[in-house]
Amino acid sequence: MVLAAGTAPRRARRGAGRDRIVRWVAKPAVFTLCLLPLAWLAWQAATGGLGPNPIEAINRSLGDWALRFLLISLAVSPVKELFGWAVVMRFRRMLGLFAFFYVSLHLANWIAIDQFFAWGLIGREIVKHPFITIGMLGFVLLVPLAATSTSGMIKRLGAARWKRLHQLVYVVAILGVVHFYMMVKADVREPLIYAGILLALLGWRAVARGWFRPGGRTAKIARMSGAVSHTSVTSPRPSPPG
């Protein structure tokens, strides 16, 4: 009993020490690392390293990093479960918000620098090009996720409703990959790599949540589909009016 009583305060002190390290060292370090792609892009713009079409290069780089941060944020839960690194969950919100930050810059660069606020042309481009339509839809769906990312919004919405809302992140990720694939005109290897990563992350979630176990969601859907098919085949047909 004495040993147990003495161990508890030591564990509490170690936990508080780890919390201080995460809050005052690790989080600022990760925040700084997340800004490095933007700093590198600014350096390239200042030194003329963006090639013959700097506007397109900036837009492409910002979009690439938005998708990368989105996939990294989706990889946090698998990393935690596979390696037992619970501390990585402390960075998931930051990574998701950086995805929104870079996609906002991506959109702002396209509207302000590429299209120069020509709203009529912007509207026609969104309607005319499916990859722009899909990208805009992904951005619109990402806005409420960023707006409700705070602890206060979780309490206001309720945990269950907040979790349902944030399931949209998977839709956003799919739209982002499709947007990238449709935008690339020749070499589709990079968007296919992202598609493979996203497929692996979605597959891990489906397995972890038991979708493929007997009684899981996939099995229930299959049973429901079979029941509907059986009903449609065996139900009597109405006799013609006589």
Residue 227 lies in a domain: no
pLDDT of residue 16: 72
pLDDT of residue 185: 77
Residue 35 lies in a domain: yes
pLDDT of residue 89: 94
The letter for the amino acid at 241 is: P
More confident residue, 209 or 118: 118
Q: Which two tokens stand for residue 106?
A: 């991506």
pLDDT of residue 7: 61
Whether the predicted pLDDT of 239 surpasses 80: no
pLDDT of residue 19: 85
Query: Which DSSP letter does residue 209 get?
Result: T
Q: Binning pLDDT at 50, 70 and 90, where does residue 217 land?
A: low
Which segment of 19-33, 139-153, 206-220 scores lowest on mean pLDDT?
A: 206-220
C-alpha–C-alpha distance, residues 146 and 97, integer Å: 6
Tell me which residue range forms the domain holding 186: 15-213
Which segment of 49-53, 142-146, 179-183, 237-241 scores lowest on mean pLDDT?
A: 237-241
Residue 220 lies in a domain: no
Spatial contact of 107 and 139, defined as CB atoms under 8 Å apart: yes
C-alpha 95: how far from its chain's center? 9
pLDDT of residue 228: 42
Residue 55 lies in a domain: yes
199 CB-near residues (< 8 Å, 6+ apart): none
Q: Is 235 left (phi over 0), alpha (psi -120 to 50) or beta?
A: beta
Q: What is the mean pLDDT of residues 48-71?
A: 96
pLDDT in tens, 190-213: 999 999 999 999 999 999 888 766
Whether the predicted pLDDT of 142 surpasses 50: yes
Calculate the alpha carbon distances from 225 to 211, 235, 236 in Å. 16, 15, 19
Spatial contact of 179 and 135, defined as CB atoms under 8 Å apart: yes
pLDDT in tens, 7-18: 656 666 666 778
pLDDT of residue 231: 44
Residue 225 lies in a domain: no
Residue 138 lies in a domain: yes
C-alpha–C-alpha distance, residues 95 and 173, integer Å: 14
Calculate the alpha carbon distances from 88 to 142, 150, 163, 230 in Å. 22, 17, 19, 48
Number of domains in the chain: 1
Residue 49 lies in a domain: yes
pLDDT of residue 13: 62
Query: Which DSSP letter does residue 80 get?
Result: H
Residue 92 lies in a domain: yes
Alpha helices of 85-209 — where are they, by DSSP H?
Answer: 92-109, 119-128, 130-147, 151-157, 159-166, 168-183, 189-208
Query: Which DSSP letter does residue 50 get?
Result: S
